[in-house]
Amino acid sequence: MVRKAPCLAESQVPLPRAVSLPITDSFADSMNRKAFRDGIKPGWHYFGRKMDVADFEWVMWFTSFRNVIIFALSGHVLFGKICSMTVPQHRAVVYMLYGFLAVLSSMGPIYLMIVLSHCLVLYSVALAKQKWLCYVAGLCCLASFKMEPFSSWQSGFVTGAFDLQDVLFYGGSGFTIMRCMSFALESAEKKEGIYSIFDLLKYNFYLPFFFFGPVMTFDQFLAQVSNRELRRKDDEMRNIRVHALIHVGAIIAVDIFFHFFYILTLPSDLKFMNRLSDWSLAGLAYSNLVYDWVKAAVMFGVINTIARLDHLDPPQPPKCITMLYVFAETHFDRGINDWLCKYVYDHIGESHDNIIKELVASIATFAVTTLWLGPCEIIYIWSVFNCFGLNFELWVQKFFQQAPFAKLEAKMSAAMSRRIRAVFGAVNFWAIILFNILALNSLEFALLVTRRLLQTGFPVSTLSIWFITYCGVQLIKERERILAIKEEKSDKAKAE
C-alpha cells in the first residue's frame, strides 16, 4: 500500500535535510500526506522531535526489547562469569540451563516443548548418519515455521500475548532449526558414533544466540565451549570494552538520526519521491541500505560482545556496505552466510570454477535463503536478482580470463588494470544497492530509482553518479592492495 506524508505545518515534523535540499523544497509543498502520520510517532517530547518508526526491528530494539535484553544478557554475563571463575569445565551446562530458563520464562512451557520437539526430530534423523535425510528433515522443519498453514498452527499453541511474542517465536524457532541442521550434518560426518542430544541442547540454548543469532556451526561452538583453558589474549579485554563503547555510540547516533532524518519513511510515498532529484533518490536508496547495515552491525555487535566475554569467537559483524562492490561479499548476517557456504554453496559448488556447478550451487543457496526469510513475492524477486548478480560476476570473470583479454591485461600497468576493474565495480555497487532495496523498501521504489538513474537521468546524472562511485571503488581497491601487502610482509616475518 502506498502511504503519504503530511505537510510540515500540520504534523510539525522537522524537515528531513539528510538527503538533499530538493527534498526540503518538495516537502514544503506536500499537503496532508499520510506516510508521515503512519511512519512518524512521538519521540523526544522535551525536544519536540518525532521518531521514524518505519522499521519495526529498530523500534523493537529501541523500545520493548531494550529492557528485556539488558536484563537477560546481564544475568547471562553474571552467571557466566561466576561459572568461568569456579567451574570452567561446566560452563556450557550453566549457559544451557540459564538459556533454558530464560526461554521458559519469556515464552512459556508450550513454546519450549515445540522447540524441544524439533530438536528431538532432527536428533533422531541424525542417528541415521545420512546427509540427504538431514537436509530433507531440516528443511521441512524450517518450512513448518515459514509457510502456512503450519506456521500459524504451531504459533497457535503458544497462549497469551505480548509485544515481542511473534518476533521471539519465529526468531528463536528459525535459528533453532538452523542449529539443529548443523548438529545433524556434523554428526553425519563424524566417523565414529554421534554427538549426544545433551551436546545439541547446550548448543541450541546458548541464550545470546538463541533468538536473534548469529549462527555458529556446531563444530566451531563445540570446540570453543569445550576449551577449559580460559586465557585472554593480550589486550583482549581492552578490545572488548572498545567495541562495546563503539556499539553504544552507534545506538545513540542511530537514535539521534531517527529523530532528525526520516530516511526510512520517505520511500513509502512514491508521489513525493517523484519530486526529488536524481541525486536525492540515489542518496536515499544508499542511505536505506546503510541503515540496514548499521542495524545488523549493532545487533550482532552487542551479541558478539557478550559471546567474547564467554571466551567464544563468534561470526564477525557484516562488512560495511560502502566497502561492497562484489556480490560474493554481500551478506548482512555472516553467521547465516557461513552456514550456507559450508553446507550448501561450497558443498555443491566445490572450487567455484565450473560455471554449471556454480549456477546449481547459487540456485540451491538462494532457495534455502528464500525459505529462511519466508517465501513471498518480494523475496522471490530479491533472490532471483541476487542469484543472477552472483553468477553474472563469474561469467564476466571467466570471459575476461580468455587468452586475448588476459594477454592484454598482462601488458597493462597495475594501476590501469585496477581502474578498468573499478569501472565494473562501480556498476556492481549500484546493482547491489538496487537489488537489495527490493527487500528493504518496495519493488515500486526500486523501479523508480532504477528508472531515474538509467533512463530519465541519462546521461548527466547516470555518468556523474557512476564516476563518483568509480572513484570510491578505486579507493577501496587501493586500500585492499595496501592491506594485502602488509599482510604478506607480516606472514614473511612470522615465517622467518
Q: Indicate whether 254 and 109 sit together in one domain.
A: no
Residue with cell 571466551: 311
Q: What is the pLDDT of residue 26?
A: 46
Q: Is position 445 within any domain?
A: yes
d(CA 334, CA 214): 7
Most confident of 228-237, 248-257, 342-351: 342-351
Give the lowest-confidence range in 30-39, 133-142, 373-382: 30-39
Do 144 and 151 meet the contact criterion of CB atoms below 8 Å apart? yes
* Residue 288: Cβ within 10 Å count: 23
Q: Are residues 221 and 80 in the same domain?
A: yes
Beta carbons within 8 Å of 322's beta carbon, 6+ residues apart = 290, 472, 476
pLDDT at position 496 is 66
Residue type, position 480, single letter:
E
Residue 340 lies in a domain: yes
Tell me if 163 is assigned to some domain.
Answer: yes
Say if residue 31 is in the same domain as residue 148.
no
Query: Per-residue confidence at 1, pLDDT binned at 50, 70, 90?
Result: very low
91 has a pLDDT exceeding 70: yes
Q: Is the pLDDT of residue 281 over 80?
A: yes
What is the predicted pLDDT for the residue at 112? 94
Q: Which amino acid is at 469?
A: T
Answer whether residue 19 shows pLDDT above 50.
no
How far is residue 341's CA from residue 331's CA, in Å, rounded to a whole number?
Answer: 11
140: pLDDT strictly greater than 90: yes
Give yes or no: residues 451 and 391 share one domain: yes
Q: Which of these ranges, 33-37, 122-126, 315-319, has the smallest mean pLDDT?
A: 33-37
If we measure between CA atoms, which residue out of 160, 203, 155 comes closest to residue 183? 203
Are the CB atoms for 389 and 431 separated by under 8 Å? yes
Interval 182-240: pLDDT, tens: 999 999 998 888 899 999 999 999 999 999 889 999 999 999 988 877 777 778 888 88
- Name the more confident of 8 and 68: 68
Q: Could you tell me if residue 233 is inside a domain?
A: no
The confidence band for 33, taking pLDDT boundaries of 50, 70 and 90, is low
Query: What pairs with residue 44 in β-bridges?
Result: 49
Of 225, 253, 284, the residue that ends a domain is 225
pLDDT for residue 35: 57
pTM of the model: 0.86
- Among the three residues 270, 287, 309, which one is the final residue of a domain in this structure? 309
Residue 472, CB-side half-sphere exposure with 13 Å CA sphere: 17
Of 325, 301, 306, 273, residue with least CA distance to 432:
325
Residue 46 lies inside a defined structural domain of this protein: yes
Tens of pLDDT along 383-406? 999 999 989 988 888 888 888 888
Tell whether 314 is covered by a domain.
Answer: no
Which of 309, 347, 316, 314 is closest to 333 using CA atoms? 316
Is residue 240 one of the residues assigned to a domain?
no
Within 8 A by CB and 6+ apart from 116, the residues are none
For residue 473, is pLDDT > 70?
Answer: yes
For 110, 113, 116, 231, the CA distances from 158, given in Å and listed in that order, are 6, 10, 14, 42
CA angle at residue 34 from 32 to 40, to 5 degrees?
110
Model confidence pLDDT, tens digit, residues 50-84:
888 887 777 777 776 666 777 888 888 888 888 87
Q: Calculate the average pLDDT of the chain.
A: 84
Per-residue cell: 132: 540427504
- In terms of domains, do 347 and 294 share one? no
More confident residue, 330 or 117: 117
Candidates 40, 43, 33, 44; CA nearest to 10 is 33
Listed range (131-135, 158-162, 186-190, 260-264) with the worst mean pLDDT:
158-162
Quick one: pLDDT at residue 478? 84
Which of the two residues, 306 and 160, has the higher pLDDT score?
A: 306
The DSSP symbol for 156 reads T
The answer for residues whose C-beta is within 8 angstroms of residue 251's C-beta and 6 or more apart is 298
20/84 same-domain check? no
Same domain, 209 and 110: yes
What is the DSSP secondary structure assignment for residue 51, as one 8-state letter? E
In a domain, residue 56? The reply is no
**Are residues 377 and 294 part of one domain?**
no
Asked if 377 and 296 sit in the same domain, the reply is no
Measured CA to CA, the distance from residue 8 to residue 37 in angstroms comes to 11
| Average pLDDT score over residue span 468-477 | 90
Cβ contact 397:383 at 8 Å: no
118-to-113, 122, 124, 383, 470 alpha-carbon distances in Å: 9, 6, 10, 27, 49
User: CA-CA distance, 244 to 73, in Å (whole number)?
Assistant: 14
> Do 274 and 305 belong together in one domain?
yes
Q: Are residues 341 and 369 in the same domain?
A: yes
Structural domain span for residue 217: 62-225
Query: Measured in Å, how far apart are the chain's first and last C-alpha atoms?
Result: 64
Chain Cα centroid distance, residue 420: 30
Rounded Cα distance between 403 and 12, Å, is: 64
> What amino acid is encoded at 196 in this protein?
S
Q: Are residues 219 and 249 in the same domain?
A: no
* Range of weakest confidence among 62-66, 327-331, 341-345, 464-468: 62-66
CA distance 15 to 7: 10
pLDDT tens profile 438-458:
888 888 899 999 999 888 888
H/E stretch holding 44: strand 40-44
pLDDT (0 to 100) of residue 12: 33
Report which secondary-structure segment, H or E, holds 305.
helix 278-309
Other CB atoms closer than 10 Å to residue 66's CB: what's the count? 12
Give the chain's domain count: 3
Out of 139-148, 246-255, 275-284, least confident range: 246-255
Domain boundary among 282, 309, 336: 309
Can you say how many angstroms the Cα of residue 178 is from the centroid of all Cα atoms in its chain?
15
Instruction: Say which range, 26-35, 44-53, 155-164, has the weakest mean pLDDT.
Output: 26-35
